[in-house]
Amino acid sequence: MPVNPADSEVFGTLYGSDAMRAIFDDRAYLGRMLAVETALARVQARLGIIPTAAAERIAEAAASGPLETASLAASVRKVGYPVVGVVAALSARAGEAGAGEAGGWTHWGATTQDIMDTALVLMIRDGLRLIREEVAAILGALARQAEAHRQTVMAGRTHLQQALPITFGLKCAVWMQPFVAHLARLSELGPRVLCVQLGGAAGTLASLGAQGLAVMEGLAAELGLAAPAAPWHVTRDGFAEVLSVLGLISGSLAKIATDVALLAQSELAELSEPYVAGRGASSTMPQKRNPIASEYVLAAARMVQALVPVMMGAMAADHERATGPWQAELLALPQAFVLTHGALLHGRSIAEGLVVDPARMRRNLDESGGLILAEAVMMGLAPHLGRGEAHHVVARAASRAREEHLTLAQALAAEPAVTAHLDEAAIGRLTDPANYLGSASAFIDRVLAGARAMMKDTAGAAQKEATCQRETT
């Protein structure tokens, strides 16, 4: 088994996705480095810094196939970074292609971290696209659940105890709300994070003379990235922000997973994960249908959030090139992306296929014998008795209901302080859960409206981004 189960052929489907692993695997990283070197050569050729023929040969060499990883691994062990080996291999290819000294123009004016950082930004861009797609899908699925169950009354619980009636639609809207914010966060961080890196040896681009800024801006345009005000070799807040957002997304998924697992308990049985034969089965108990997707969401969320401090620590970069902190990013970022995407896929399957049992919700709600409506009765009596006295009277009735195994309505009917102001019909109205839902429906409408607006904006932004990437490819 690999050190990280998310990379395992056996366990990988539980902890991640092939699509996200493909974005961050070795060949993808090397391919992105070649793409950056190619783009750099093209920009410099247009600016007259290197010969056009050399840029063409570099591009052809980069496109001629994947680099040989064994020799690159040997170079990394020796040098400590992959770029020296990448540049050597690319230069050899460009020279061997028959253009004389073409390979000598490779990597002109750049430094190792320029290529590694920009390649990582390109992978992050692809990773964020997958994340955004799943966040939007979960938001859409929860919106459908919220609409379908806006009148499905259930017990709201505080401190794991029945508190007041709510609707399952409201619970779904509460689950939805942070995902609206997450789509906004994903859109907002793009301009701060998806920036080209080009600063040369110490962040001055002195090797390119007066054309350094033009090369940086040209490279950004060539790759469809933003051009920063200055190189960010030692200002790593952007990458830290990305992982923090992944931590927030994972946390919101964990909230849903926690609720689903609790409501799927045998004693409650109000919800269950989508049923697939054999999924969540026990090796010894044939009846079991464990909330397995929720369990892996919770596991992934804990790990992603544990990686956030790693990225925060990597921000303490010394001088103009750090001695260690930024290397830790590669330990955290790819892993966080894979785990978050895996959790999102589990979360999507839950949101889209959640099995809801409204009848069981109602039975559980009625189990209290109406005690869950104690606040409603108190508020109904308060105009007559004052809030404090109303609280005292209803608490006394609730205690009697528990001790004598009565319904709250029956206990209230035996209280002279209640019957002096409320007849049987009024007590019935106050102890009907459907009559004490407050602004639940209005809150659902507000969340749905925000979700629709955000998804519309996100779809437009994604289309614009895709068009930009096609134009720069």
Element (H, E) at 68: none
SS3 label, residue 166: strand
- Domain locations in the chain as residue ranges: 115-195+232-363+443-472, 371-430
Segment 59-68, tens digit of pLDDT: 999 998 888 8
**Are 427 and 381 within 8 A, CB to CB?**
no
d(CA 121, CA 223): 10
Task: List the structure tokens of 22.
Answer: 């493909």
φ, ψ of residue 48 to 5 degrees: the values are: 80, 15
Q: Considering 207, 282, 399, 439, which one is annotated as catalytic? A: 282
Residue type, 377: V
CATH number given to 115-195+232-363+443-472: 1.20.200.10
Q: How many Cα atoms occupy the beta-carbon half-sphere of 95 within 13 Å?
A: 11
Q: 283 with 229: CB under 8 angstroms?
A: no
Asked if 282 is an active-site residue, the reply is yes
- Give the residue from 14, 199, 152, 399 showing the smallest Cα distance to 412: 399
Given the residues 46, 157, 321, 360, the one annotated as active site? 321
Which CATH number applies to 371-430? 1.10.40.30
CB neighbours of residue 260 within 10 Å: 22
pLDDT tens, N- to C-terminus, the chain (473 residues): 678 888 888 888 889 999 999 999 999 999 999 999 999 999 999 999 999 999 999 999 999 888 888 888 888 888 888 888 888 888 888 885 444 578 889 999 999 999 999 999 999 999 999 999 999 999 999 999 999 999 999 999 999 999 999 999 999 999 999 999 999 999 999 999 999 999 999 999 999 999 999 999 999 999 999 999 999 999 999 999 999 999 999 999 999 999 999 999 999 999 999 977 656 555 565 566 788 999 999 999 999 999 999 999 999 999 998 887 888 999 999 999 999 999 999 999 999 999 999 999 999 999 999 999 999 999 999 999 999 999 999 999 999 999 999 999 999 999 999 999 999 999 999 999 999 999 999 999 999 999 999 988 877 666 666 665 555 55
